[in-house]
Amino acid sequence: MATHMDPEEFRRNGYAVIDWIADYWATLADRPVTPADPPGTVAARLPASPPERGEPFDRILADLDTVVTPGLTHWQHPAFFGYFPANTSGPSVLGDLVSAGLGVQGMLWASAPACTEVETVMLDWLAELLDLPTRFRSTGTGGGVIQDSASSATLVATLAALHRASGGRWRGRGLDRRYRVYTSAEAHSSVQKAARIAGLGDDGVRAIGADPYTLALRPELLRAAIEADLAAGDVPALVVATIGTTSTTAVDPLPAIGELCQTYGTWLHVDAAYAGAAAICPELRWSHAGLEYADSYCFDPHKWLLTGFDCDAFWVADRAGLTEALSVLPEFLRNAASESGAVVDYRDWQVPLGRRFRALKLWFVLRSYGAEGLRAHICTGIALAARFADLVRADDRFEVVVPHPFSLVCFRLRATTVEPSDGQPGAAADALNAELLHRVNATGRVHLTHTRVGGRHTLRLAVGAPQTSEREVALAWYLIERTATALHRGAADAAAVRATDG
């Protein structure tokens, strides 16, 4: 017979879990940011088979420290500067815990009314905080929904765009012509993935060239690509523009792109996965200029707005167009509320049927921080990134490669700092920058990642973890600068850097 944890036991173990998380956060700064162990290390710490008899909870909890945390990259670590942030916060974790405890399914309004209604209002709140166009509010023809990720938002936008562009044929007899998706060559890989899933294939995606310095999509190239496809009898179904590309945070020129979409009747989806959060600060709203042209828009509170993964906020200007594309109604889901037309059924806004109560963590975060606290978090990240960029610029050996409007800085050792090699031009500098990154990360004291800009190996420092302060940014620069010096001497020794106090 199964032994369930009774409420009193749950209370005791629950307090222990909260204590464990609080201790984890309090000791994060003392841990290496990334593990040094080879693949398979964590798996080898687990028994080969599941236990036959249930184990005491304290034994399970204790194994977090022996099995899990030593094998983690600590994304909430104050010196985590990799990828983009995936920050969380106390209110978010607690909101998620309540959601887990409630264990409801919010697929229909009728299946958990509060789950739907809190979500609708939270998305309206967010729309107000970011000053999004009013057409995205649920009070008009639009509305917002929480998707698991920006990738899902792109997929759902692609399906709605195909439905519209084909006059409904997409969900009926199927596509009869070639439908095209346009996006910057700098756009996220999820655009290509969505096109594949939608049946358009990789060939259905037109990668439009970007400006060599800003890396923003060039509208004149977009126009030319659309014209060429129209001349060939193809249908321009969707343009995906990006505010804050993943590689370098480039901002595509929405006003010009939006005008083109209007001219050709093309769906415009705007992917602001990381940088959307910046619009909470009025001084950064320039990045969203032209958003009034968009048919759909998304950003990830789970990246930079203190809400734990997963939480992508996705809005459409015409919710009927979206639900028409995705709604399939089996008998067992029929109910009076849905038929009355007075409620929102979020199952029709996403790919899966089931959905959890993710709006709770958002509600907890928005109320705990207030608009003021969220703005302060964004401003801190931007100021710390600017501070780091200043340090880089002050050192002649380095260059800041592209503009840094948000909290990401792309930088590298200049090609001129290394002897010209007999191989490919720039190859020596690429190798040097790759070695620099490797050695800095090998210290375990900070974590940065890389990209390619103009074909050249480039380092990325992204600020966003809630505990990050000037101290960790200074430490990152210290390690980078020291390592560069050692590399230039040709006698670098990561161990020496590790041994030196920052």
The site for ligand PLP (CB under 6 A) is made up of 84, 149-151, 188, 190, 242, 245-246, 271, 273-274, 300, 312
Q: Which residue is nearest to ligand PLP (CB)?
A: 149
* Distance in Å, CB of 277 to ligand PLP, minimum: 11
CA distances from 478 to 79, 394, 466 (A): 13, 13, 21
Q: Indicate the residue among 154 and 166 with the shorter CB distance to ligand PLP.
A: 154
Q: Indicate the residue among 75 and 84 with the shorter CB distance to ligand PLP.
A: 84
Residue 164, number of CB atoms within 10 A of its CB: 21
The phi, psi pair for 184, rounded to 5°, reads: -65, 150
**Is residue 381 within 8 Å of residue 430, measured between CB atoms?**
no
* Distance in Å, CB of 152 to ligand PLP, minimum: 7
CA dihedral 349→302→275→295, nearest 10 degrees, is: 0
* Distance in Å, CB of 271 to ligand PLP, minimum: 5
Any idea what the Cα angle at residue 100 is, between residues 48 and 95, rounded to 5°? Answer: 125
* Distance in Å, CB of 305 to ligand PLP, minimum: 12
Q: Indicate the residue among 246 and 433 with the shorter CB distance to ligand PLP.
A: 246
* Distance in Å, CB of 175 to ligand PLP, minimum: 25
Taking the C-alpha atoms of residue 252 and residue 245, their distance in angstroms, rounded to an integer, is 9
Taking the C-alpha atoms of residue 418 and residue 24, their distance in angstroms, rounded to an integer, is 42
Taking the C-alpha atoms of residue 28 and residue 482, their distance in angstroms, rounded to an integer, is 24
* Distance in Å, CB of 57 to ligand PLP, minimum: 32
* Distance in Å, CB of 502 to ligand PLP, minimum: 29
Q: Indicate the residue among 248 and 441 with the shorter CB distance to ligand PLP.
A: 248
Taking the C-alpha atoms of residue 36 and residue 189, their distance in angstroms, rounded to an integer, is 29
* Residue 381, both tokens: 């990240």
Q: Indicate the residue among 207 and 497 with the shorter CB distance to ligand PLP.
A: 207
Tokens 């409620």 correspond to 343
Q: Indicate the residue among 111 and 190 with the shorter CB distance to ligand PLP.
A: 190
Of the candidates 247, 268, 273, 245, the one whose C-alpha atom is nearest the C-alpha of residue 256 is 268
Q: Indicate the residue among 155 and 475 with the shorter CB distance to ligand PLP.
A: 155
**Is residue 445 within 8 Å of residue 34, measured between CB atoms?**
no
CA distances from 28 to 20, 40, 441 (A): 12, 23, 17
